[in-house]
Structure 1
Amino acid sequence: MDFFAFPPVAALLDLAYAGFMGLASLLEPVAGGSAAAAAVVLVTLLVRAALIPVGVSQAKAEQARARLAPALAALRRRFGNDPERLQRETMQLYRDERTSPFAGCLPVLLQAPVVGIVYAVFLHRTIAGHANALLDHTLFGVPLGTSLVGSLSGGAPDAAALAVCGTIALLIAGVGELTRRLLRVPPLPRVADSPVPAAATSLLGVLQFTTAVVALFVPVAAGLYLLTTVAWTLAQRLILRRVHPLP
């Protein structure tokens, strides 16, 4: 059974489809044949603007975690041999400071449904029983429903699709590298008996490029959403890092 054929989901996709088509019609005098792509970028900016308060709370949480680093190291030294007590004392410390180790996850969780909708709208040839005209829209001649992996698996790769999808993925990776360099967080002080493996810190850098890998599998429209949101995130965090600097 197709999950997207379930009536409430189909209705949601149809609403999203109507919204994108309306925005594309408004932007067509300015963006021409790339009006639907411009609509995706505009929707992304609107979503990220709505999440600015969440970004502010994320910056405050990051500042609090950096401030608590010495206290967390002291707890690991004291209770390193008692994992349950260490976890209990750690969570109590976060509660006393009115913050959470998971505060930074909220923006990603809130955006996940939007990414899913963009992905689904530009993946299905029919939505709620009618043809999906969005798939006729292109970016530099490449249909917005095209993915790099899909193009490669379909036989002879299309040069334009390779160029557009590859460029989007490379730009996302470039923004990830800038984010890693410009927003480097000082590591927590380590102790000999720390239960956290040393390799865990290095894995954080790898996660910055996960979005670029995802962009290879999703339609061009969803890739545009991802590129716009990572660029917005970098700019927003640079600004908020100045307002809420790390100790």
Structure 2
Amino acid sequence: MLAFAPLDAAVTAASTAVTALADLVAPLAGGAATAAAIVLFTFAVRLLISPLSWAQVRGERSRAALAPQLREIQRKYADDPARMQAEVVGLYRSAGASPLAGCLPALLQAPFFLVMYRLFTTADPDSGLLAERLAGVPLGHHVADGLGGAAGPLFAVLFAALLALAWWSSRRMRRTAALAAAAGAGAAAPAKAVGRAGEPQPDVAALLGRIMPLLPYGTLIVAAVVPLAAVLYLVATTAWTALEHAVLRRPQPAPLAVPVPGR
């Protein structure tokens, strides 16, 4: 269909890139060249969008620095939501920060995921990319196709890796949500929305704080229905994300105190 022409072109380009990488690493990877190429291609794309992740972290730190001023705005204009929103926007603009900057990396990863998903689900499992093997298992093999032979141990290792990465990501999200909740506790009461009957509306932030840590485990559900090639992609991209968060969000050293003359 004409509507899918750009997506099909991207899928073809991704397939060509993976094939070229497989030919390049074949002398070293041997029969696992295509599997290695999928991982390398995933890392290459994530590296291309990593500047956005760096910008996201800088934005998060800028927003954290603005937290006291945001709480003051929420306290001061608790009875005037329109003025509160205008003041918050003005504060972000004056600080050169954006509350939506953190969405960009995820938004850019979504088309890549769609391209890779289409590549691995529309390719012919009996020829081409999905016909290649890893540890003797075709890259087009699904968990539902059976876990006999080498498929069982291979999928067990990959699912264990996904589970460990999901646990780490979930734990990080819970810790981040707890810190955010503690930082905003002082403004929670005056800023809480009130419904028509005068009763407080559900705390959306608290609800998201409970739901978000569960999302990383969705990779296990996806991995259960996609072919081995896609499982490799999931392991590679979630591992990159975990490494990126560990490096970019490591605790920052506290600024050195400047001695005051005469004290």
Q: After the TM superposition, list the runs of 4 or more consecutive aligned residues in structure 1 that deviate by more than 6 angstroms.
A: none
Alpha-carbon distance in structure 2 between the residues aligned to 1:58 and 1:245: 19
Give yes or no for contact 2:162–2:235 (8 Å, CA) kept in 1: yes
1:99 alignment counterpart: 97
Spell out the pairing of 1:1-247 with structure 2 (5 A cutoff): 6=5, 8-126=6-124, 132-148=127-143, 151=144, 157-159=146-148, 160-161=150-151, 163-181=153-171, 184-185=175-176, 186-187=179-180, 188-190=183-185, 191-193=188-190, 194-195=192-193, 196-197=203-204, 198-242=206-250
Q: TM-score, normalised by structure 2?
A: 0.75
Q: Aligned to 1:218, what secondary structure does the other structure show?
A: coil
2:200 alignment counterpart: none
Which segment drifts farther, 223-232 or 203-212? 203-212
Q: Tell me which amino acid in the other structure corresponds to 1:141.
A: G
Q: TM-score, normalised by structure 1?
A: 0.79
Q: 1:108 to 1:245 in 2, by over 3 A?
A: farther
Q: 1:35 to 1:70 in 2, by over 3 A?
A: same
Aligned residues: 236
Alpha-carbon distance in structure 2 between the residues aligned to 1:112 and 1:71: 34
Alpha-carbon distance in structure 1 between the residues aligned to 2:142 and 2:3: 21
Alpha-carbon distance in structure 2 between the residues aligned to 1:119 and 1:44: 12
Q: 1:169 to 1:228 in 2, by over 3 A?
A: same
Q: 1:99 to 1:212 in 2, by over 3 A?
A: farther
**Larger relative CO (CA 8 A, sep 6+): 1 or 2?**
1
Alpha-carbon distance in structure 2 between the residues aligned to 1:40 and 1:104: 27
Deviations 1:111-133 (A, max 9, x none): 22222222222222459xxx851
Alpha-carbon distance in structure 1 between the residues aligned to 2:120 and 2:49: 24
2:199 alignment counterpart: none
Alpha-carbon distance in structure 2 between the residues aligned to 1:200 and 1:13: 34
Q: 1:133 to 1:3 in 2, by over 3 A?
A: farther
User: How far does residue 39 in structure 1 lie from its aligned partner after superposition?
Assistant: 0.3
Which segment drifts farther, 202-211 or 56-65? 202-211
Give yes or no for contact 2:42–2:236 (8 Å, CA) kept in 1: yes
Which segment drifts farther, 59-68 or 158-167? 158-167
Q: Aligned to 1:122, what secondary structure does the other structure show?
A: helix
Alpha-carbon distance in structure 2 between the residues aligned to 1:147 and 1:80: 54
Which of these two proteins has the greater Rg computed from alpha carbons? Answer: 2
- Which structure 2 segments of 5+ residues have no match? 194-202, 256-263
Q: Aligned to 2:140, what secondary structure does the other structure show?
A: coil
Q: 1:79 to 1:229 in 2, by over 3 A?
A: same
Deviations 1:178-200 (A, max 9, x none): 23445732213222243444333
Q: Aligned to 1:158, what secondary structure does the other structure show?
A: coil
Q: Tell me which amino acid in the other structure corresponds to 1:99.
A: A
Q: 1:218 to 1:199 in 2, by over 3 A?
A: same
